[in-house]
Amino acid sequence: MPAERLSMRKICEILRLNFEARRSVRQISASTGVPRTSVSNYLARAEEAGIGWPLPADFGDDESVYARLFPHRDVLVAAVKSLPSWPQVHVEVARPHVTLMLLWQEYKERTPGGLAYSRFCERYQEWRQKTRLAMRQIHRYGEKVFVDFSGGSLDITDPVTGELSPAKLFVAVLGGSSYTYVEPVLDECLPTWLSCHVHAFEFYGGCSEFVVPDNLRAAVTRPCRYDPDLNRAYAELAQHYGVCVLPARVRRPKDKAKVEAAVQVAQRWILAVLRDRTFHSLGELREAIRPLLEKLNSRVMRHVGRSRLQLFLDEEKRCLRPLPPSRYEYADWASAKINIDYHVEFDRHYYSVPYQHRQESVEIRATGSTVEVLLRSRRIASHVRSYQPAKHTTVPEHMPKSHQRYLEWTPSRLISWAEKSGPSVATVAKEILDSKPHPEQGFRACLGIMRLGKRYGEERLERACKRAVFYRTFSYRSVESILRQSLDAQPLPEPTDSTPACLPRHENIRGSRYYQ
């Protein structure tokens, strides 16, 4: 059968130019625009069928011409009709453990005279090349979910101030069925990124084997083609849900072409539809997106013949792994070093750890309710999270049996060390230690005061502490403020009868003379 099926008019023109005008094959090809091989093929078949010019009267339509020129056409048509459904082959090969060899064997059982295996694979690859880019990769059901943020945005208008806040879309799409999840967000920060993943997994009702993100900062701290460093919290989420994160290569959008296409579809079918509407809250926008997302997932995909939702329910949902019993809870991570007072600082609050681990480097994991201290991935302390700044949370079991014996650091040693800078420095250190429920809680402030001597000099530190003793302001901040403002250079006022004999102990009560 010729590569292209010509119309009745073309066939008649070829026959006329050959039999009546006596033109050559090259001239006929140039005149009609038909390749020379096709012209030769048609003329040879016309001669074999005994067709000349003018045509017989019973040649009234294209089918009658083809019936004479191609007497075995019915056999060829039957062979074409016996070809497999390539969209169905594409859907089947995406199922776990299904190969083209298996599908070809099943096809041969149904059609013994069908294509050979090599031709079967060639025809399938030809069909894939003709489809859109989003279908060029073979994605197994339940294998991958692709995630990304959309480029476009919708504005959320503050009902009071009228201020506009752009809201973009988080898009997740399953590789096998293209089932899509869309959520509006106001930023791309780490908590938002992680919560969107949690919502996407819950939307699907299960987890895939892999998650394929871009190299945004919330996902990857150090991009690398071969060994990227994941954000610690993102890696913890992956561990919680039992998935593996495979970041796409930098500037390689084809690695996540599935979500690139999904973002484009979401922009056209969601952002474009809502472009003229005004929203006053993120919740209002989320409610407007929900029916549009349902409509998007219910649309029949032209090259597959089924909708995303139908493919998901029929094929991919059962391939997803179940969700863990508990929902992932976002946690902040930080590194710290345990001070000699066996406390670590996180968010301006101090938490105790067993005193044996002093001066060790640890990691801190903090959720909204708890703070955990990890030493070489082993938890050594756990506390209820406190949001009070400059306060201590101390567990009695973390403290040494005797506060007077803490290795080489004791309150008496600190006071003796402070006396080397001057008697007033020692007085301030002693008052700080005496004011704490446990002396160790004052070690940090005492060390800070003595380090001021390296910055400002021992002589100035003694004068500043003498001023602090006069006004009874026993704290690191007070001494540091006196030095920073050079108040230590000013003489102290002479005591008068109006001077109170004893002021209450409070670092914020300094008296009126302090500001003179």
Q: Is 436 exposed, middle or buried (0-12, 13-18, 19+ CB in 10 A)?
A: middle
The model's confidence at residue 315, banded by pLDDT at 50, 70 and 90, is confident
Q: pLDDT value at position 416?
A: 85
The model's confidence at residue 60, banded by pLDDT at 50, 70 and 90, is low
75-89, 144-158, 342-356, 438-452: segment of lowest average pLDDT = 75-89
Three-state DSSP at 375 gives strand
Asked if residue 460 has pLDDT above 80, the reply is yes
Helix axes 423-435, 458-471, angle to 10 degrees: 50
The overall average pLDDT reported for the chain is 82
| DSSP states of 446-505 | HHHHHHHHHHH-HHHHHHHHHHHHHHT--SHHHHHHHHHTTGGGSPPPPP-TTS-S---S
Q: pLDDT value at position 1?
A: 42
Q: Which residues contact 187 (CB under 8 A, 6 or more apart)?
A: none
Name the β-bridge partners of 336: 362
Q: pLDDT value at position 133?
A: 42
The model's confidence at residue 404, banded by pLDDT at 50, 70 and 90, is very low
Handedness of CA 313, 315, 316, 317 (dihedral sign): positive
Q: Supply the DSSP symbol for 392.
A: E
Q: pLDDT value at position 509?
A: 61
The model's confidence at residue 421, banded by pLDDT at 50, 70 and 90, is confident
Measured CA distances, 333 to 28, 320, 344, 354 (Å)? 79, 30, 13, 20
Higher-scoring residue by pLDDT: 199, 231 = 199
Is residue 32 within 8 A of residue 15, CB to CB? The reply is no
Q: pLDDT value at position 374?
A: 93
Q: Is 319 exposed, middle or buried (0-12, 13-18, 19+ CB in 10 A)?
A: buried
Please state, in angstroms and rounded to a whole number, the distance separating the CA atoms of residues 229 and 458.
47
State which amino acid sits at residue 277: R
Cβ count within 10 A of residue 71:
12
Please state, in angstroms and rounded to a whole number, the distance separating the CA atoms of residues 224 and 458.
51
Average pLDDT over residues 249-262: 73
Question: Model confidence over 151-192: pLDDT tens digits?
Answer: 778 889 988 888 899 999 999 999 888 899 999 999 989 899
Q: Which residues contact 123 (CB under 8 A, 6 or more apart)?
A: 83, 86, 115
The model's confidence at residue 63, banded by pLDDT at 50, 70 and 90, is low
Q: What are the φ and ψ backbone dihedral angles of 315, each rounded to 5 degrees?
A: -120, -50
Average pLDDT over residues 464-475: 90
Average pLDDT over residues 436-441: 78
> Which structure tokens are listed for 175?
């590789």
Q: pLDDT value at position 402?
A: 56
3-7, 212-216, 299-303, 438-442: segment of lowest average pLDDT = 3-7
Average pLDDT over residues 95-121: 85
Q: Tally helices (H) and strands (E) across the chain.
A: 18, 15
Question: Alpha helices, DSSP H only, in 71-188?
Answer: 73-81, 86-93, 100-110, 117-130
The model's confidence at residue 479, banded by pLDDT at 50, 70 and 90, is very high
Higher-scoring residue by pLDDT: 66, 502 = 66
Question: Which residues in 130-145 are b (16+ Cβ under 10 Å) and which e?
Answer: eeeebbeeebbbbbbb
Asked if residue 502 has pLDDT above 70, the reply is no
Q: pLDDT value at position 2?
A: 44
Nearest to 340 by CA among 220, 445, 255, 419: 445
Please state, in angstroms and rounded to a whole number, the distance separating the CA atoms of residues 16 and 7.
14
Q: Supply the DSSP symbol for 316.
A: I
Q: pLDDT value at position 76?
A: 43
Domains of the chain as residue ranges with CATH: 8-79 (no CATH), 82-130 (no CATH), 144-319 (3.30.420.10), 332-398 (no CATH), 411-515 (no CATH)
Is residue 395 within 8 A of residue 439, CB to CB? The reply is no
Average pLDDT over residues 355-360: 89
Q: pLDDT value at position 287?
A: 93
State which amino acid sits at residue 270: I
Question: Model confidence over 278-302: pLDDT tens digits?
Answer: 999 989 999 999 999 999 999 998 7
Question: Model confidence over 129-138: pLDDT tens digits?
Answer: 776 544 445 6
Please state, in angstroms and rounded to a whole number, the distance separating the CA atoms of residues 49 and 43.
10
Asked if residue 75 has pLDDT above 60, the reply is no
Nearest to 172 by CA among 283, 79, 259, 64: 259
Average pLDDT over residues 472-481: 91
State which amino acid sits at residue 397: E
Asked if residue 260 has pLDDT above 50, the reply is yes
Asked if residue 344 has pLDDT above 90, the reply is yes
Average pLDDT over residues 52-60: 69
Average pLDDT over residues 107-114: 84
Asked if residue 10 has pLDDT above 60, the reply is yes
Asked if residue 78 has pLDDT above 60, the reply is no
